[in-house]
């Protein structure tokens, strides 16, 4: 809970304004004189040994090209990490200097930053702040839960994408625009991936979560704006794919809660961001692994068996849903794999049941789930027009083809719509919507079929007509021949809230060879173009591009291929 204290400046009487900001009155003056600066200091979240704070500084003096805010603690508080400012501490004294991207501070302008800190005993609040050596007045409270605060968010809408712009990540946009021809798509909205604790504050000088939210506010203008976040750092993450392993060990569920989810929730709950529609994609590839890659299945892995046994995927997803779902303007979408993963009879219904278990654990309820997302970072075609699941060739069902392999679905749209119905049947709200990631499933270019394949056999019929040109539907890493899919779009089909580019095109799925790194990412042979496969891809070639960097790193060759094979074409 936030706390408030107002500091009285020497020789000045302070009059509290309607918004909780104090103004100085000079004795004998008939008006209110402008104070040099004001500081709003909020303790947003506090636990036994630490807290998260947000600071907003308003400059009432001449415009500045750089700034430094200083304060001192009376207790033993120690800043451990920060965002939107370079924060240093010497003893009790703390200094926050601007970052390169927010040094400009106009007269009357404000800038915000935040930090996590440790403490023991009493978390005494600072009483004096200075901006470039000039003392400011202080309102160190009035957090988002305080009554009377402005900016209370409106109730959730049915589809957050309807009538709204979607945030264009300036960091991804700059990389895309720097590529030859990239300006054709550099203004498209993509997801912001929070894939490790450090990403909350920004990695390597890059934008952290608050910086992205601030940029979204600037893009928003007077309309509605969606910000898309991928929340992705479970303990023992992605137990069946080494390329996307994470930093937390299988048992580190408490660290996931307190150092990852709690700080994210504290930032998203800031009333400053109440006007944004914040869409979260919750932990891709986690829960589906518990269904398909455990127990006696040929695709089982010891790591997935461990995560099923300890319950930390279920607990982590439930905790994230509960914490983030409590924020009025956050819309949670749980990852639901894709048709080539959960579309089989053995997987379809059990997955929905497991998702319900996660959505009702750790204090979460189905009301914390706004919908589900399919095909995140995958390549499954949106709609296969040249064959259906009901077709047969010479008396043999399409389901018996090597490609379909008894699946009940041949594309993402049919799967997403059917899975939505299944989810409602197990207890999810009837108003849930689906998102489909179309960032890399266009499969255009000269090799795109224009009609069905030959009816020589069911395999020639399917293989000759399918848009998805992967060697096997289980191939997932930097796929050769892939193209950009449908552009992001709200409410494109029944039950679908939006087509989205949650995976930013041009970011690698994993490295082609082993690359030492400090990101917790291993080397997965499915990203090696020479790999001949395993049970999960029918012992087929991986179909991966060569010379790929670590997952999440920029892969120019892939980006160029995606543009070349885009469908609809650019």
User: Which sequence positions are flagged as catalytic?
Assistant: 238
Around 213, how many Cα atoms within 13 Å sit in the side-chain half-sphere?
32
Phi, psi of 124 (to 5 degrees): -65, 140
Neighbours of 152 (CB within 10 A): 13
Please give the Cα distance from 273 to 144 (Å, whole number): 10
The DSSP letter of residue 59 is: E
Phi, psi for residue 526 in degrees, rounded to 5: -65, -15
Burial of 205 from C-beta contacts in 10 A (0-12 / 13-18 / 19+) = exposed
Q: How far apart are CA 52 and CA 282, in angstroms?
A: 22
Distance CA 55, CA 39 (A): 7
Cα dihedral across residues 531, 534, 540, 543: positive or negative = negative
CA 475/CA 480 separation, integer angstroms: 10
Helix/strand/coil for 490: strand
Backbone angles phi, psi at 151, to 5 degrees: 80, 20
Q: What is the DSSP letter of 225?
A: E
SS (H, E, C) 525-568: HHHCCCCCCCHHHCCCCCCECCCCCCCCCECHHHHHHHHHCCCC
Distance CA 471, CA 491 (A): 31
Closest alpha carbon to 206 in 216, 194, 220: 194
> 455 with 394: CB under 8 angstroms?
yes
């Amino acid at each position: 809970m936030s706390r408030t204290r107002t500091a009285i400046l020497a020789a000045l009487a302070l009059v509290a304004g309607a918004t909780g900001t104090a103004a100085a009155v000079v004795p004998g003056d008939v008006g209110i004189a402008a104070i040099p600066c004001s500081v709003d200091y909020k303790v947003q979240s506090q636990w036994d040994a630490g807290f998260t704070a947000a600071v907003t500084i308003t400059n009432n003096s001449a415009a500045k090209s750089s700034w430094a805010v200083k304060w001192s603690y009376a207790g033993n508080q120690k800043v451990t990490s920060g965002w939107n400012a370079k924060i240093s501490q010497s003893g009790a004294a703390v200094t926050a200097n601007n970052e390169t991207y927010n040094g400009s501070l106009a007269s009357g302008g404000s800038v915000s930053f935040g930090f996590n800190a440790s403490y023991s005993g009493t978390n005494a609040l600072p009483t004096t702040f200075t901006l470039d050596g000039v003392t400011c007045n202080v309102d160190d409270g009035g957090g988002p839960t305080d009554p009377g605060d402005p900016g209370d968010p409106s109730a959730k809408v049915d589809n957050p994408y309807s009538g709204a712009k979607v945030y264009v990540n300036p960091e991804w946009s700059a990389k895309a625009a720097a590529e030859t021809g990239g300006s054709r798509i550099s203004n498209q909205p993509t997801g912001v991936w929070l894939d490790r604790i450090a990403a909350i504050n920004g990695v390597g000088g890059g934008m952290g979560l608050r910086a992205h939210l601030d940029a979204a506010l600037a893009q928003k203008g007077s309309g509605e704006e969606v910000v898309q976040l991928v929340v992705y750092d479970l303990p023992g993450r992605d137990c069946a794919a080494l390329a996307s392993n994470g930093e937390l060990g299988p048992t580190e569920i408490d660290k996931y809660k307190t150092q990852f989810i709690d700080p994210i929730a504290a930032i998203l709950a800031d009333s400053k961001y109440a006007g944004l529609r914040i869409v979260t994609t919750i932990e891709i590839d986690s829960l589906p692994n518990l269904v398909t890659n455990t127990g006696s299945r040929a695709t089982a892995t010891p790591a997935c068996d461990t995560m099923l046994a300890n319950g930390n995927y279920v607990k982590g997803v439930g905790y994230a849903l509960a914490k983030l779902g409590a924020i009025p303007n956050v819309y949670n979408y749980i990852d639901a794999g894709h048709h080539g993963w959960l579309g089989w009879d053995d997987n379809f219904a059990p997955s929905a049941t497991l998702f319900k278990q996660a959505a009702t654990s750790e204090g979460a309820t189905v009301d914390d789930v706004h919908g589900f997302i399919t095909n995140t970072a995958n390549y499954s075609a949106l709609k296969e027009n040249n064959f259906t699941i009901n077709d047969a060739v010479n008396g043999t069902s399409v389901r018996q083809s090597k490609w379909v392999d008894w699946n009940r679905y041949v594309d993402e749209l049919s799967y997403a719509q059917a899975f939505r119905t299944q989810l409602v049947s197990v207890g999810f709200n009837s108003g849930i919507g689906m998102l489909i990631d179309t960032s890399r499933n266009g499969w255009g270019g000269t090799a795109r079929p224009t009609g069905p394949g030959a009816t020589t056999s069911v395999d020639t019929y399917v293989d000759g007509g399918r848009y998805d040109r992967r060697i096997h539907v289980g191939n997932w890493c930097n796929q050769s021949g892939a193209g950009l899919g449908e552009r992001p779009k709200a409410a494109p089909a029944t039950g679908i809230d939006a087509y989205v580019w949650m995976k930013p095109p041009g970011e690698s799925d994993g490295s082609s060879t082993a690359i030492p790194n400090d990101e917790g990412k291993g080397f997965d042979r499915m990203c090696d173009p020479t790999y001949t496969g395993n049970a999960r891809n029918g012992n087929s070639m991986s179909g991966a591009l060569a010379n790929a960097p670590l997952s999440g790193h920029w892969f120019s060759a892939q980006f160029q291929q995606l543009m070349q094979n885009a469908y609809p074409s650019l």
